[in-house]
Structure 1
Amino acid sequence: MGRCSRVVAGLLIGLASPSLAAALASPAEARVTRLELASRQSFGTFRGGDYVRWDGRVVGELAPDDHGIPDLEKAPRSDAGRVAYSARIILIAPADPASGNGALLVDVPNRGRAYANALYNSPRDIPMLSGDLGIGTGFLQDNGYAVAEIYWELGRGAELPSFTDAEGRRRFVEGVGFAIVRDAADFLAHAAADGAGTPNPLAGRINRTLATGKSQDGRFLKTFLLDGFNTAEGRRVFDGMHVFVSGAGLLPIMRSGTGPGSSADGTPNFADPDFPGVHDGPLTIGEIVARVEARGEIPPRMMLLNSTVDYASLRASLGRTGAHGTADLPLPATVRMYDVAGASHVNVLKADACSLPPGRLDWAPVARATLARLDQWVARNAAPPETRLMPLQPAKDDPTVLQAPRALPEAVVQVPQRDADGNPLGGVRLPDIAVPLGVHGAQNAPLATFTCSLIGTYQPFARTSAEAGRQPALAERYRNRSDYVNRVRAAAQALAAQGFLLPEDMAVILNAAAEAPIPEPKAEAAPPR
């Protein structure tokens, strides 16, 4: 064990509770063979106390036939006949084990960039981007979550097994990325220490494990589940999954690639609508869960969230209808699906390459509220809000909509129906949509620029009738700012009662409403005496 690891181990043993000390005497079996923690630093002080951040690597070994990972048997093996891997890991957890809430939240990084803080800790007006490990609002830490960033991708934090093929090319066994996340998550949730005696800093703290992934990594989690990686040592790895804006796609990494980039990078888009691998398998979560249950596994409880832009740019409707027709297929009892009306796939402050200003709907409040409800569903069997979706309409021949691939001739891509202003109907309606100041979730351009096709746009209403075109101006929609704020309050209270908004976010939204640019009516001049 290196000096840094010994120092961290000593610190952890000093902090350990009696139950942890007892657990260290009989380390659990795990595929992770070494946990190499190179650094430990303060992450801040929150509602329950201090948090710390550990940075390091996990090293593990796999049997050559592990879950049928393609070509794994071709990689070099140890004397024990096993195949090695290693991967970067970041842990952000309470310094005092007693101050946590018992939940381990495993984030699947997107193209080598951590996403959990950007999803759950993002403030209203300055959205955090993937890769941002800043504190932001501190929501995850204030609520006691232990967070693990487990890197899995070729060239982006993971050292994958490789071999030389018949043509002399080096190939990387990319399916091992699924095994890395499985093994590291199971180790953190259940093991006391690694084989060298280095303590697991989360030992004795965790009683449930949740996974989160956005876009590429939402597809990672669905494929992880489909291909049987949600079991380890005879137990379920993830009790719940929070899947964001994954469209109807899977992740094509059950293959061996030649590098240097990952096979997970590409996805169908307006410039390459028939990109293979993503829409070649099951499209609906119902199909995936059916395969899980057919293997005798207990599926995790899942929440899948879609943005409005996903329907036009990522074929999200196929995740509801499958490859045939326009009727929604039933969801399993273990799944909820929520459409966030007016939301973009990703929020950015600037988009210089795009023709229109980017979308600006802050839907982090829905991410926070649904994580809390997913956790309650897993921990206490508390029923979450029912599925809430936007009504759809076919978009055949619409050039602003990514049509179905040629390989799915009976698939019909649909988009949300919209009101007279252009805002989408139905779904989870934040006050910004229920009491709008403009139109959210329209397509940006040029669509062939992938970023522009995902960020959508926001078009504010005119302030006064003199500035307005066809749409009523703000001065015609709201009598004054007090009228607007009262309507926002009513919308926020309704959303909170439905389980999609937390009290702290309601306060932020009302504060923003009180500062909105609503024209005040001109005071009438007093009559002359």
Structure 2
Amino acid sequence: MRGAGWLALTLIVLPTIAEARVTRIVVERSEAAGNGFTMLRGRYEGELDPRDPHNRIITDLSAAPRTARGTVAYSATFAIVRPNDPARASGVLFYDVPNRGNARIEPDPAGHIRVVSGWQGDIAPQPGVQTATVPIAAGLTGPVLQRFVGVAAGSASVPIVGGIVRPVARPLPVSLDTRAARLWTQTADSAPLVPVAAGDWAFADCRTRPFPGTPDPRQLCVRGGFVADRAYTLLYTGRDPQVLGIGFAAVRDLVAFLRHGSRDDHGTANPVAGLVRWPIVTGTSQSGNFVKSFLHLGFNADESRRRVFDGANPDIAARQVPLNIRFAVPGGAADLFELGSEGALWWSRYRDRTRGRGTSSLLDRCRASNTCPKIVETIGSAEIWGLRLSPGLVGTDARRDLPLPADVRRYYFGSVTHGGSQHGGFPLTGEVIPPGYPPCALPLNPVRTADIRRALLARLVEWVRNDRAPPDSRYPTIAAGTLVPPDAAAMGWPAIPGVPLPQTALNRMPDYDVGPQFRYVDESGVASRQPPRVRQILPARVPRVDSDGNEVGGVPLVALAVPIGTYTGWNVRTAGYGRGGSCGFIGGFVPFARTEAERRQRGDPRPSLTARYRDHAGFVAQVRAVAWRQVRDGWLLPEDAARTIAEAEASDVLR
């Protein structure tokens, strides 16, 4: 050990029984977290048997280097917040899947233990970020595809990195000879790929030396510099892939150890031994996609065939995470050629005739092992418009609603941006709602969803711990007439002057052919055909809207019940590459006119604020009535209702 602050924690493993193979946990720092809780930070080490059926699904695991015991070793960081007094522990462990290494946990007033850990092996170790160190399958090669969009005009060269938010380095090319690679440009996703001659680009750094620059396998240089409104697609042969699918097993084995283990292989006690009865996993966006893939690939059964998580909340997760793929980019976001929607996207069994991929569900493996958790899925408008959620609701043919199993609830947040806003649905005094992300056409959507999700997570705990079922699912459906074709007329969209039509913003879903080595249903394997061939564009359905343009059929949100404008889960790009199409998964906002005179002058079909609420007091009274009704019906916690009312009182609405 490196000092008194270091603590090794070990699970004793019986030689005749396969158990979760965490071999060492080291607490590098222990500190008071306030309110009678302690924060533990450190790292853990584990080993996987490639022959074990629970691990065989991991792509390239068999090619990873072995220990003397014939196992494959990995390590990851972690953080745990636990109550100091064991009597305060609720028995619930919340594992919050980090998003691109970002994770923040704090004391839980309900006494729940909170845990995060690294799983994404392509993130370099760095302070404050949860990371994993996974082995390299040395000697393996394959095609590597990387796109560059929005490069600043005239840039001499750009780093070859993937993902968004936290860019990660891509594999090195086998050769720097551009004749053995390809580069194309595009003016829009729907436009053809135009080849760039091999002599007009280089694997090189041209920032200090003109083209062809200084040879560099981690930089891309183009003769004459990059053009800002074009996309560049690079294809080369990469070598030595990381075995990124180990991230699923790393989470599985850590939680199994915390739930069942007593000591690690070095004899130190599990810091939460005896305190964990009901583990629950939550993940938002990319992390929610991780939760879906974790369940789908069978990782909710540990190596002793025990259930890992009793409850799960994939939040705003429209796809699977493309992690278990050679040369994977798990940090993408449904842009052109990015994988994640090729496999099962539905909770019940569905025959995917449109793509010819047989019958499957996300829960097939946990059904077979009797290890499925209770699931609360929370999803929003931006996931339909920007992240291709539709097949998860109505299949790839978009003909009928797919049923939900009894152990799954779905709650849809209508007319919201991806993840919701920090606002309460109306501007606060002295605060101006910021304009949309340049270059989006509409200002940012201010509707907050965290309040209702907080209440639903409390209901998930009750369901897992006490078998008290949460409310019935609430989401738009074809059967109810609230899920319709993606055009303004079918949606009932009001003709608001100066506002784009919604169908221009839909991110339509391609059916990709990435070659015979890819296991499509499992979103796993080797994508040998790059760029993918687009076989067809799949049909989609979107929610109907009311006369204000706000979506119907979902969970009742205070902001939609007492609106001050039209809220959208979509937006339209106004400049640069993709102009006139989807502006990603960013929602918009179109405020109502203040008075009827203003409304008539604009030609706005939506009633004004004064026609709806008369004055500020009338607006606040309606917010108060709706918020407390939400508490009564179980959609809001009392403290969140009180905060929403206070925000309405402090707002500038009709002052």
TM class by smaller structure: 0.7 to 0.9
Matches of 1:478 and 1:239 in 2, distance apart? Answer: 45
Partner Cα distance (1:143, 1:219) in 2: 27
Residue of structure 2 in register with 1:243 after alignment: 314
> C-alpha distance in 2, partners of 1:290/1:202?
29
Higher helix share: 1
State the alpha-carbon separation in 2 of the partners of residues 154 and 348 from structure 1: 30
2:293–2:321: 8 Å Cα contact kept in structure 1?
yes
Greater displacement, 89-98 / 405-414:
405-414
- Structure 1, unmatched stretches of 5+, are 13-23, 115-132, 521-529
1:59 partner amino acid? E
Question: What secondary structure does 1:172 align onto?
Answer: coil
- What is aligned with 1:123? none
Q: 1:491 to 1:194 in 2, by over 3 A?
A: same
How far apart are the structure 1 equivalents of 2:369 and 2:50? 23
Does structure 1 conserve the Cα–Cα contact (< 8 Å) formed by 2:11 and 2:264? no
Task: After TM superposition, give the deviation of residue 498 of structure 1 in Å.
Answer: 2.8
Amino acid paired to 1:354: P
Matches within 5 A, 1:145-160: 145-156=112-123, 157-160=131-134
**Residue 412 (structure 1) shift:** 2.0
Deviation at 1:286, TM superposition (A): 1.6
**1:199 lines up with 2:269 in the alignment:** yes
RMSD between aligned alpha carbons? 2.5
Structure 2: unaligned runs, 5 residues or longer:
124-130, 142-173, 175-238, 350-360, 423-433, 477-481, 488-501, 513-534
Question: How far off is 1:177 after superposition?
Answer: 0.7
User: Deviation per CA, 1:335-362, whole angstroms, max 9, x where unpaired?
Assistant: 0001112221134675542333211111
* 1:80 matches 2:34: no
Q: Are the aligned partners of 2:74 and 2:134 in contact in 1 as well (CA < 8 Å)?
A: yes
**Offset from partner CA, 1:312-371 (integer Å, 9 cap, x none):** 111212111111233111100010001112221134675542333211111111110110
Q: Where does 1:127-146 land on structure 2 (aligned, <5 Å)?
A: 133=104, 141-146=108-113
Residue 281 (structure 1) aligned with residue 343 (structure 2): yes
The answer to whether the 8 Å contact 1:346/1:455 transfers is no
- Judge conservation of contact 2:305–2:369 (CA < 8 Å) in 1: no
* Per-residue deviation, residues 396-425 of structure 1 (Å, max 9, x unmatched): 693211123144758421111111111111
Q: Which of 291, 310, 330 pairs up with 2:364?
A: 291
Note if 1:51 corresponds to 2:33.
no
Contact 1:87 1:159 in 2 (8 A): yes
After superposition, residues 29-428 of structure 1 pair within 5 angstroms as 30-45=20-35, 50-65=36-51, 66-114=55-103, 133=104, 141-156=108-123, 157-166=131-140, 169-232=239-302, 233-247=304-318, 249-257=319-327, 263-269=329-335, 272=336, 275=337, 277-287=339-349, 288-292=361-365, 294-347=367-420, 352-355=437-440, 356-390=442-476, 391-395=482-486, 398-407=503-512, 409=536, 411-428=538-555
Which residue pairs with 1:129 in the alignment? none
How far apart are residue 25 of structure 1 and its match?
11
> Secondary structure, in 3 states, of the residue corresponding to 2:648?
helix
The normalised TM-score by structure 1 is 0.83
Which residue is equivalent to 1:517?
A: 652
Contact 2:11 2:265 in 1 (8 A): no
CA distance in 2, matches of 1:240, 1:364: 19
| Higher alpha-carbon deviation: 443-452 or 330-339 | 443-452
Q: Name the CA distance, whole Å, in 2 between partners of 1:69 and 1:293.
A: 17
1:440 aligned residue: 567
1:13-28 equivalences in 2 (<5 Å) = none
Distance in 2 between residues matched to 1:100 and 1:186, nearest whole Å = 18
Letter in 2 for 1:456: G
Identity %: 35
Structure 1 residue 255: Cα displacement = 2.6
**Matched residue count:** 471
Aligned residue for 1:185, secondary structure, equals helix
- CA shift at 1:252, angstroms? 2.1
Contact 1:283–1:323 (CA under 8 A) maintained in structure 2: no
Q: CA distance change for structure 1 residues 227 and 26 in 2, over 3 Å: closer, same or farther?
A: closer
Structure 1 residues 347 and 455: alpha-carbon distance in aligned structure 2, compared to 1, 3 A threshold: farther
What is the Cα deviation at residue 26 of structure 1?
7.2
d(CA) in 2 for partners of 1:445, 1:403: 14
Query: Structure 2-normalised TM-score?
Result: 0.68
